[in-house]
Amino acid sequence: MSQADRRPMDLAAYEERARRGPCFVCAFLDGHPDYAHELVYEDADHIAFLDRWPTLPGKVLVAPRQHVEDVVSGFTADAYTSMMLVVRKVALAVEAVLAPERVYLLSLGAKEGNAHVHWHIAGLPPGFPYEQQQFHSLMSENGVLNLPPAQCAQIASRLREALT
């Protein structure tokens, strides 16, 4: 992915939406059209979907259906273990479908915005220059991928297939 494959991210608009809008996960689950995402996986307690502003191809977010704000203490031990098993399951699908050099797993968010706990699963494509890997590859400040909706739908379909 070169810089030509990226577009600038409107960080001010993103921050405004994250801080003042509804919870993006809850809005997605409620079917709000402004918060639609490509669904990858769901079960009774969890949801996984493609990131709307991916910095790497096939970047997936995994979240509990229940609005939880504390990444560790917000879960019982069993619920946390269940959540992490879903993160692993989706990450294995990302590995199988996208054949990345490395899969990054991290949980981001803050009480002030994007408070609903969610994990990012991002596969680093092979051949990425070292200086563009790790945090650099995950930062929307460096641009987000300019992927057509049909390509996102195809990636989501392949991931769903790998998860069945």
> With contact defined as beta carbons under 8 Å apart, do 122 and 59 qualify?
yes
Count: domains in the chain:
1
In angstroms, rounded to a whole number, what is the distance separating the alpha carbons of residues 7 and 24?
22
Q: Which residue has the tokens 């919870």?
A: 23
CATH number of the domain residue 49 falls in: 3.30.428.10
Domain that holds residue 92: 8-163
Q: Between the CA of residue 131 and those of 58, 59, 88, 122, 134, what are the distances in Å?
A: 21, 20, 27, 17, 8
Where does the pLDDT of residue 5 fall: very low under 50, low under 70, confident under 90, or very high at 90 and above? confident
Is 89 part of a structural domain of the chain? yes
Q: Is residue 3 part of a domain?
A: no
The reply to whether 29 falls in a domain is yes
| pTM summary value | 0.93
Tell whether 1 is covered by a domain: no
Q: What is the pLDDT of residues 103-122, one digit of tens each?
A: 999 999 899 989 999 999 99
Q: Residue 112: inside a domain, yes or no?
A: yes
Residue with tokens 């803050």: 110
